[in-house]
Amino acid sequence: MAQRIRYLLPFFVLMLSFISCYSTLQKDPLRHFGEESGFKDVIKQSTHVLRLKRFDRILGTISTSGKTINVNDYGAKGDSTDDTEAFKKAWEVACSTQGAVLVVPQKTYRLKPIRFLGPCKSDLKVQISGTLEASNDRSDYSQDGRHWLLFDSVQNLIVEGGGTINGNGKIWWQNSCKVNKALALTFYECKYLTVNNLKIQEAQQIHFSFEKCINVQASLLTITAPEDSPNTDGIHVADTQDIQISSCNIGTGDDCISIASGSQNVQAKDITCGPGHGISIGSLGSGNSESYVSGVTINGAKLYGTTNGVRIKTWQGGSGSASNIKFQNVEMHNVANPIIIDQNYCDQDKPCTEQKSAVQVKNVLYHNIYGTSASDVAIEFNCSSSFPCQEILLQSINLEAEKGQKSEALCNNVQSTDTGIVSPHCP
């Protein structure tokens, strides 16, 4: 018996030590973690591994210490000849390599439509230092006329580098207005995505498109196209959740930022817009469709000479809602229609027929919006008689007509409240 106790004694001692340590940790397992580094408020006791990964993504600290894949090593010339096949080969290798960095050096590479398909083996970075230039031969787009550069189903992706993406859009603009035109750079069903420090210009149609993506950081983007280039939206967000857009300079022929149906938790800050059509939610409800957008915050924007300021646009006959929306800290310079809700939007040649159903617009805040209006009407709420705009709150609004003249507000079928100085205000 004594011998058995002698053998078991170390085991009991070990168990008592474990219990003592466990008890101490349970009292405050993160008591000292981050007190000096400033992360105490960020890291919570219930933090999940995926949330930590997302935090790292936001800070851009995902490790890409693996192999460098240079497109030149796979046959890319960068001499205005077609480099599409070389890029496809380089992508296949990078996508199947642990922690790869796909490098595009400082040359100009001509590309036909190309699809960068995931899922990939691990985190992946695309470092664009040079210029990607679209083929200007329209026959090259016969198989997929809707996309030029498409990242499809890639997770944990960083695209950055300070390079330029040139959509060569002129040939498209002169042949077609809205149909059969490619989107320059599309991210489709991507998760944990960072797009940072890129220039994109003269897209065939939309410059950046985020479709069905989750957890996106888009920042330091410069987007340019002529003011008369048709449908060249700067950043288009559709069916996308949890996206942050920041520090972008956008001047195009259409919306600087457009937010379409299915989008939730969209944040945009430090946006410079103009020329263009402003920052828009919609259009929603076209073709009697059901549309939903919620949780949109535009915080900090400067608009110059745009045809609209901050806009919500919906078609008659649609259904669904646009709700929980904030436009705040927005500076307008010679902007036509600085604040507008249009539930009778009609973008077609023949007049739209009057319909009773509409996308419900509700719980919208306009706060600290100021500057000059290029039109006499600085605020227009053109809401549905069947589904009036509800819970519209205006705080600290000061919009004057050009040359210091007084502007006016046109308000139909809207339930609005003013707090603080609001000029102009609904009668």
Q: Are 210 and 245 in contact (CB under 8 A)?
A: no
Where do the structural domains in the chain lie, given as residue ranges? Answer: 66-254, 279-427
Give the confidence band of 347 by pLDDT, cuts at 50, 70, 90: confident
The reply to whether CATH 2.160.20.10 applies to domain 66-254 is yes
pTM attached to this predicted model: 0.85
Q: Residue 373 has which token pair?
A: 């209006």
- Which residues are catalytic, by number? 277
Q: Do domains 66-254 and 279-427 have the same CATH topology?
A: yes
Q: What is residue 176's predicted lDDT score, i.e. its pLDDT?
A: 59
First CA to last CA across the chain, in angstroms?
Answer: 96
Write the pLDDT tens digit of every residue in 156-171. 999 999 999 999 999 8
Write the pLDDT tens digit of every residue in 63-117. 445 699 999 999 999 998 999 999 999 999 999 999 999 999 999 999 999 999 9
The vertex-351 CA angle with 349 and 353, nearest 5°, equals 140
Q: Are 276 and 251 in contact (CB under 8 A)?
A: yes
Q: Cα(424)–Cα(406) distance, rounded to whole angstroms?
A: 8
For the chain, give the percent of residues with pLDDT over 70: 83
The reply to whether CATH 2.60.40.10 applies to domain 279-427 is no
CB atoms < 10 A from the CB of 220, how many?
A: 16
Q: Cα(84)–Cα(86) distance, rounded to whole angstroms?
A: 5
CB atoms < 10 A from the CB of 36, how many?
A: 8
